Amino acid sequence: MRRYMADHAIPAGRLRRKPPANEFPDMPHSASEKAGQSLTGWRFNLLAILFLLAGAMIIIQLVRLQFSPERSEFVSLGDQYSRTLHIFYPPRGDIYDRWGRLLAGSTLVYEVGTQVDNVENPDTIAFALSKVLSGHPEYDYAGYSNDIFSVIHRAEISGTAYVQLADFVTPEELSQLQDWAQNYANLPNVDYGESGRPSLDGLVYRPRLQRYYPENELAANVMGFVNREGKGMFGVEAEFNDLLAGAPQSVWMSLDPYQVSEIPQLKAGADLVLTIDREIQAAAEDVLNKALDDSGADGGVISVMDPNTGEMLAIASTPRLNPNEFWNYANVFKDSTPFNRAVSQDYEPGSVFKVLTMAAALDDGAVTPDTEFVDTGSIQIGGITIHNWDWGAWGPQNMQGCLAHSLNVCLTWVATELGAGQFYKYMQNFGFGRTTGIDLAGEAPGRLKLPGDTDWFEAELGTNSFGQGIAVTPIQMVMAISSVANGKGEMMMPHVMRSMVRDGFQYTPTPQVIGKPISEETAHTLTELLARSLEGESSDALIDGYRVAGKTGTAEIATPTGYSTSETNASFVGWGPVNDPRFLVYVWLEKPQSSPWGSIVAAPVFRDMVERLVVLMDIPPDDVSQSLGDE
């Protein structure tokens, strides 16, 4: 029974166990069983040793690589392909006029390049691009096709993944390229010989934004432009470049899908609302163009300011560049012509400066409107003799007469009555000799020679009093005269940025008062004097229904051999309505040909401008304002 069980019921495992000595008798295993057990053990052992060795070798290799000299090379190679640098450029902020009309925005353009591995036929790509982009100024040259071909060829050799072939491609040009690509793709599969099957495969594009000026040349001198590198040049674009451009962000983006990094939330550039009124700007440019045609002047400026706030409503200057075609800059601005004469070109203003000499003298009390001066036609100062514009003697004159007839002799006498110390103190208070701080790039400081300067002589006091021997910019004149024009004696800082829109909020800075060089009473008195002067002279600057104050100016132009009598700077500054000043207009024509006199060429320009201005600004005639006010 036991034998039976041992043979048939006991599991095989039990057979290998040695039975207890007394209970079970020794039962010797067969020879084949022993041989089988030893063979199995040997194989298992061998397998285990092999696995052990393989594992050990892997571990040894891992350790060796970790400490091998090639490790750093492998790591850097891995890093090179593990991430890519992306530079994210936020969209540039828009620029609007004061009523929200877009002056500078953005438009779609495309960067075109090749993914070199996918290029099938570089010849076709070179041919297509050279034909489609032939109207593109940057790619319109004979060797462009060869250049493209060689660029692709070099990229293929060097193993470069992507090469850029063209930028700033317009949507129309891209559409043509897409048509070409489609046509090539539809070609039949036949043998095309050595040239291979024509194909634009591998040609890729990427959309991006480019600055665009929908008004083209309108207000171009104020706006400036953005160059190919995205940098603002001149005007508002340069002055507020950092604000408009926003902050580009460079991000290393991992290619490891476990380490996907978030695309940064870009802070878009701020939008700007300018003080410029598009309609007034257009009118100013229109009037200026007409004035240049009529007078044959080399160039000119018309500036329109709200004297109560310093807001520039229009700044027209010549020449003008279409900022959408800024590459024509060198053709438009020749011989160091400034981009915006109103802020960047200083000149001797001439008799318009008498407004400020008289303002200083009246404010100081050196003269009163009724002070009499007997004009003998000349006056000696600092060793030179000063004459009137007509070389005539005008006899007894009060201050209104001096201004009305623009008498150099009288104003020289007024300056001497005031004294050099006071005169230059007032001129400095009016802001001459330094920049106004207008928010336009490239402002020139002008030059005000002061007593004590090596190149200042006593005669300067006389010449400066009627605007010769002093260099000012039109915007300096506008700022200085704003203190008279607003009737408060407060000199307003000229500015073109009305408000800034950023992070969902619109910030509107308050108008800045630069100083109060004269009293309110002086401002009123002088305005009245100048208004009567214009009326007394029946000036061409007078406008029906509106009472304005102003002053003409004719300045001889300094040359290396002395002052030229044939070439002048003709100007006019005026403001109105006298009872409630709303505008200050400054006109400057450089070297007019039809007449050298400001009263003849510049005063009518002021009138033309104001006639359009009162309509655009909804300013009723004085009698209407009076009657409406009385109701």
Partner 1 sequence: MENIQKLTHAYEQAPWRKQMYMIGVILLILVSAAIVAGIYLNVTARAAAIGRQIQEMQVRVYGYHYLTNDASDVIVPIEELEQRIANLTSQLAILTSYQTMQDRVKDLNLQPIDADHIEYMKVPGYYDRQTTSLAPPPEPVVVNASAIDPQFKESLFEWVVEQAQKTARFISEARP
Beta carbons of 556 and 262 less than 8 angstroms apart? no
Helix axes 458-465, 420-429, angle to 10 degrees: 50
Nearer to partner 1, 28 or 257 (CB): 257
Measured distance CA(205)–CA(174) in Å, rounded:
8
Nearer to partner 1, 59 or 615 (CB): 615
- Across the strands, what pairs with 302? 316, 587
CB 149 → partner 1: shortest distance, Å? 18
Nearer to partner 1, 194 or 618 (CB): 618
Nearer to partner 1, 359 or 497 (CB): 497
Residue 380: Cβ-neighbour burial (10 angstroms; 0-12, 13-18, 19+): exposed
Nearer to partner 1, 456 or 546 (CB): 546
CB 546 → partner 1: shortest distance, Å? 8
CB 27 → partner 1: shortest distance, Å? 17
Nearer to partner 1, 83 or 449 (CB): 83
Query: How would DSSP label each residue in 382-437?
Result: TTEEEE-TTS---EEE-HHHHHHTT-HHHHHHHHHHH-HHHHHHHHHHTTTTS---
CB 503 → partner 1: shortest distance, Å? 9
CB 504 → partner 1: shortest distance, Å? 6
Q: What is the DSSP letter of 543?
A: B
CB 236 → partner 1: shortest distance, Å? 16
Nearer to partner 1, 70 or 618 (CB): 618
CB 151 → partner 1: shortest distance, Å? 16
Residue 300: Cβ-neighbour burial (10 angstroms; 0-12, 13-18, 19+): buried
Q: Both tokens of residue 309? A: 């706030």
Nearer to partner 1, 232 or 349 (CB): 232
Nearer to partner 1, 174 or 529 (CB): 174
Beta carbons of 582 and 619 less than 8 angstroms apart? yes
Measured distance CA(497)–CA(272) in Å, rounded:
7
Contacts of 113 (CB under 8 A, 6+ apart): 162, 163, 164, 165, 166, 203, 204, 205, 206
Nearer to partner 1, 258 or 391 (CB): 258
CB 23 → partner 1: shortest distance, Å? 9
Nearer to partner 1, 168 or 212 (CB): 212
Measured distance CA(628)–CA(620) in Å, rounded:
9
CB 627 → partner 1: shortest distance, Å? 9
H/E stretch holding 290: helix 278-295
**Spatial CA neighbour of 548 closest among 596, 507, 607, 494:** 607
Beta carbons of 217 and 322 less than 8 angstroms apart? yes
Beta carbons of 555 and 350 less than 8 angstroms apart? yes
Contacts of 301 (CB under 8 A, 6+ apart): 288, 315, 316, 317, 318, 341, 342, 474, 586, 587, 588
CB 237 → partner 1: shortest distance, Å? 16
CB 547 → partner 1: shortest distance, Å? 14
Nearer to partner 1, 286 or 528 (CB): 286
Nearer to partner 1, 27 or 255 (CB): 255
Measured distance CA(339)–CA(602) in Å, rounded:
22
Count how many Cα atoms sit within 13 Å of the Cα of residue 45 in the half-sphere of its side chain.
6
CB 203 → partner 1: shortest distance, Å? 5
Measured distance CA(613)–CA(611) in Å, rounded:
5
Nearer to partner 1, 3 or 17 (CB): 17
Nearer to partner 1, 278 or 591 (CB): 278
CB 614 → partner 1: shortest distance, Å? 5
Q: Both tokens of residue 430? A: 């009016």
**Spatial CA neighbour of 491 closest among 502, 478, 504:** 478
Task: Write the secondary structure of 427-474 as one string of H (helix), E (strand) and C (coil).
Answer: HHHCCCCCCCCCCCECCCCCECCCECECCCCHHHHHHHHCCCCCEECH
CB 502 → partner 1: shortest distance, Å? 9
CB crowding 234-250: b at 16 or more within 10 Å, else e: bbbbbbbbebbbbeeee
CA 265 to chain centre: 24
CB 111 → partner 1: shortest distance, Å? 8
Q: What is the DSSP letter of 164?
A: E
Beta carbons of 530 and 403 less than 8 angstroms apart? yes
